[in-house]
Structure 1
Amino acid sequence: MQHMEFHNQSAPSALPALPSLPSLSPSTLPSTLPPTPFFTHSALTTTLGSPASCDPASSSWVSAFLAPVLGVEFILGLVGNGLAFFIFCVRTRPWSSNVVFLVSLVFADFLLIINLPLRMDYYLHNETWPLGDVACRINLFMLSANRTASVVFLTAIALNRYLKVVRPHHALSRASVRAAAWVAGGLWGSILLLNGHLFVIAIPRKSCLSYQLGMNSSASTRWHSALYLLEFFLPLALILFAVVSIQQTIRCRGLGRQAGPRRAKRVLAAVVAVYTICFLPSIVFGMAAIVAFHLKACPALNICSQLFHSSLAFTYLNSVLDPVLYCFSSPSFLRHCRALLGLSQGSQGPDSDENSYQPPSRLQEASRASRKAGTVGMLQAEGSLEVSLE
């Protein structure tokens, strides 16, 4: 998510030639308008008298705030996701469909992490991009792909838990790791295609921003704005649907004492928390800035633009919070993490975290089998006791 700037794109027309007025001194002649088409936020009209767009200047305190915050997020995100990558790819055996989506989320976070130093440099140089147009477009593409991939795979994790609890007999609930990998690959292909427009979108000179109000509208800019809204509200609706469905299923089927459904509730709560903290602020301030721009409320627009820009810190925070989500989503990840940090003696039990998601029929069969084995054991004990008494 990039800073939203507001430029007036209507170039001032040349003034008509003034007739010679010998009685007037040169100091009394009207001065020539500056050649630049950009105006300060106080300029509300063009030379022709038509309304002009507000153009709030970049705030120095926003850049001063974002540069160190992004540095901290870079360090924490690199450590947390590096640890997660090692645990999932080296220590976790066997993989489950859930781990496939978690690893995809790790890759999405690395798209952001490797680009944060460039964004830090951008803000340290007062929002001036020194690396050229191609590097800027690649940087914006990877940042936008991270945002899309984060919401897509957070949604995939939530829907995977929904299937395990609500639809345990469905074919998708029993999908193999290979099938989950194909699904993840298809999602990645769609993510890259959805953000490919950033290679042709108009970008202000000496800047590296993908969201600008007031610029000449094009199909790419309209799609970028639509994707920005769609990738928040549609996944949020699916995640909330999964939350409500799991809660109703646990209550109706009396699954509150099972480990799998309880973990599903914790996972969905963590997903909603990460989703809200990271993406909601930019949505709120971005939509407020759009409304202020169309109403030409320049003071409000200036404030909303700066708040929108500052909310980037929350958007980039997802790379730091995702490793915390892995602890809720995968018991094996938490065990391995504690073992690597020296907090336990190592992991016990299978690495797969889906063995507790058993359909009710299988649970009933296991319960009947255990009761039968207990009955047989009691009879054998009584027989041995009779023999010993004799």
Structure 2
Amino acid sequence: MSPGWPGAWERLGVPPEELEEVSGEREVLASLPRMKRKKMYVLEPIVKMVLKGNTSNDNTSFLDSEFRYTLFPVFYSIVFILGLTANSYVLFVLHRLREAQTMNEIRIYMTNLTVADLLFVCALPFWIDYFLRRGDWKYSDILCRVIGTFFYINNYCSILFLTAISVNRYWAVTCPLDAASSNCWRRGALISTIIWVLTLSFSMEYLVKPGVNKDQANVSRCFEGYHEDNEDSKRFLAITHLVIVTSFFLVFFIVVACNLLIARALLIQSPSQALGSVSAKPRGVKRQALQMLCVVVVVFIVCFLPHHLVQYPWTLAVLQIQEGWGSTGWNDTTRCWLNDAHQITLMLMGLNCLLDPVVYCFATRRFRLYIKDHLKRVGKGRHYSDTIATHISMTSQGLHNEPGAS
């Protein structure tokens, strides 16, 4: 007899001499007619109720993907080293450009995006240790909540700040005079504040609710699985994820639309319009602006789109809502396939902290010019000095009206 059944029968008040050796749901149900012959009719609905509860627990068992315990530590170690180096250097460059007063709204978005990336990178050592221990969390529940929240903050701050950069570039290309005459610094600070408030507000739930839970093998899982036991809580969680996924696709549509309109405006620009720019190299400016558009769209398609395509079906597979809205009836093979796909998309989302610095290089010519000059000096063995920032400031004055210059 399986370990779970004696306790259930004892709770039902079945005398030991009436207890039959059964090992599963089918055998228990098969024994009900014999129980009826012994005048135990009242037990049939109760037994079925107990069995239904036991089956529900089996269906909501923890879904796992063995490959992640080998792949994730290696992948996240690479992301940690490269991401920490790249984003720290980006902050250094942005700081020097701020001193030279050569960047405004775009610099604000880039700085905030870099901070969000560094939050994620700083949490990676804990995730590396977690997967090396085969998904067994050995730290406090509060720390689990914090590093799990960093993951969501990074991803959704990245999505929103990349959207802000796309809208800003669209405005600079289609309405250059309005963009140049407006208070860019104040607008950038306001939009950045709104993005952080929204992201932190939606992430607050993850800081309040328990982050660590035990699975059937008594393994402490961090930010994996759900604590909701009743159907209403599961259904509410499914609706929440549906809203998040739908919101992402609305933002994704805005990003694609802005970048397509920017590309259209650049490609149909007449030679006289291009030559009317202060720049002596309009073709190069146009090419760099188009490259920036491609990089932003690639980041969305590679890092964020796969996750949000899989997220909602995976949520339903994990919750296993038994009846009504949200119920699926998927078998174990489908659920395992969805979980494997979900794990891969989580890994792809981690790439955004490496690709964001590439966006910066194409988003502003001053950023590229600074890095090029700095690396050239380092390559020649010359020490960095404030004259670089001064040189960039003077050079950038002739680039102010270019589409890729801000």
Is 219-228 or 244-253 further displaced after alignment?
A: 219-228
Correspondent of 2:366 among 328, 332, 338: 332
Q: C-alpha displacement at 1:172, in angstroms?
A: 8.4
1:209 corresponds to: 223
Correspondent of 1:239 among 249, 255, 262: 255
Whole-angstrom distance in 2 between the partners of 1:193 and 1:152: 14
| 8 Å CA contact 1:260, 1:356 repeated in 2 | no
Whole-angstrom distance in 2 between the partners of 1:86 and 1:357: 24
| 8 Å CA contact 2:106, 2:165 repeated in 1 | yes
2:332 corresponds to: 298
Summarize the alignment of residues 86-235 of structure 1 with structure 2, pairs less than 5 Å apart: 86-92=92-98, 93-94=100-101, 95-170=103-178, 174-201=182-209, 203=211, 204-205=213-214, 206-209=220-223, 212=226, 216=230, 217=233, 221-222=237-238, 225-226=241-242, 228-235=244-251
Going from structure 1 to structure 2, the CA distance change for 1:20 and 1:66 (only over 3 Å counts) comes to closer
Name the TM-score, length of structure 2 as normaliser.
Answer: 0.72
* TM-superposition CA deviations, 1:149-188 (whole Å, max 9, x none): 0000000110000000112243687333233223212221
Is 106-115 or 92-101 further displaced after alignment?
A: 92-101
2:352 corresponds to: 318
Going from structure 1 to structure 2, the CA distance change for 1:304 and 1:208 (only over 3 Å counts) comes to same
* TM-superposition CA deviations, 1:31-50 (whole Å, max 9, x none): 799xxxxxxxxxxx985247
Going from structure 1 to structure 2, the CA distance change for 1:142 and 1:56 (only over 3 Å counts) comes to closer
Residue identity matched to 1:357: E
Q: C-alpha displacement at 1:78, in angstroms?
A: 0.4
| 8 Å CA contact 1:282, 1:312 repeated in 2 | yes
Correspondent of 1:308 among 339, 342, 348: 342
Whole-angstrom distance in 1 between the partners of 2:84 and 2:190: 27
Instruction: Identify, as 1 or 2, the structure richer in helix.
Output: 2
Going from structure 1 to structure 2, the CA distance change for 1:55 and 1:100 (only over 3 Å counts) comes to same
Going from structure 1 to structure 2, the CA distance change for 1:285 and 1:166 (only over 3 Å counts) comes to same
2:74 corresponds to: 68
| Percent of aligned positions that are identical | 22
Is 138-147 or 218-227 further displaced after alignment?
A: 218-227
| 8 Å CA contact 1:96, 1:354 repeated in 2 | no
Going from structure 1 to structure 2, the CA distance change for 1:152 and 1:130 (only over 3 Å counts) comes to same
Residue identity matched to 2:352: N
Going from structure 1 to structure 2, the CA distance change for 1:333 and 1:195 (only over 3 Å counts) comes to same
Whole-angstrom distance in 2 between the partners of 1:77 and 1:138: 19
**DSSP-derived class of the 1:342 partner:** helix
**Structure 1: runs of 5 or more not aligned:** 1-10, 34-44, 359-390
**DSSP-derived class of the 1:195 partner:** helix
Name the TM-score, length of structure 1 as normaliser.
Answer: 0.74
* TM-superposition CA deviations, 1:66-98 (whole Å, max 9, x none): 111101100000010011010011245222211
Greater relative CO (CA pairs within 8 A, separation 6+):
1
2:402 corresponds to: 357
| 8 Å CA contact 1:163, 1:173 repeated in 2 | no
Is 176-185 or 111-120 further displaced after alignment?
A: 176-185
| 8 Å CA contact 1:164, 1:173 repeated in 2 | no
**RMSD across aligned C-alpha pairs, in angstroms?**
3.3
1:248 corresponds to: 264
**DSSP-derived class of the 2:72 partner:** helix
**Structure 2: runs of 5 or more not aligned:** 1-6, 26-47, 215-219, 275-281, 321-327, 381-387
| 8 Å CA contact 1:66, 1:123 repeated in 2 | yes
Going from structure 1 to structure 2, the CA distance change for 1:191 and 1:355 (only over 3 Å counts) comes to same
| 8 Å CA contact 1:129, 1:207 repeated in 2 | yes
Correspondent of 2:12 among 8, 12, 16: 16
Residue identity matched to 1:239: V
**DSSP-derived class of the 2:71 partner:** helix
Q: C-alpha displacement at 1:287, in angstroms?
A: 3.6
| 8 Å CA contact 1:66, 1:313 repeated in 2 | yes
Whole-angstrom distance in 1 between the partners of 2:137 and 2:398: 45
Going from structure 1 to structure 2, the CA distance change for 1:199 and 1:150 (only over 3 Å counts) comes to same
Correspondent of 1:263 among 271, 288, 310: 288
Correspondent of 1:80 among 75, 80, 86: 86
Is 267-276 or 86-95 further displaced after alignment?
A: 86-95
Correspondent of 2:51 among 33, 48, 51: 48
Residue identity matched to 1:207: R
1:284 corresponds to: 309
**DSSP-derived class of the 1:207 partner:** strand
Residue identity matched to 2:362: F
Whole-angstrom distance in 2 between the partners of 1:314 and 1:148: 14
Q: Matched residue pairs, number?
A: 333
Is 297-306 or 69-78 further displaced after alignment?
A: 297-306
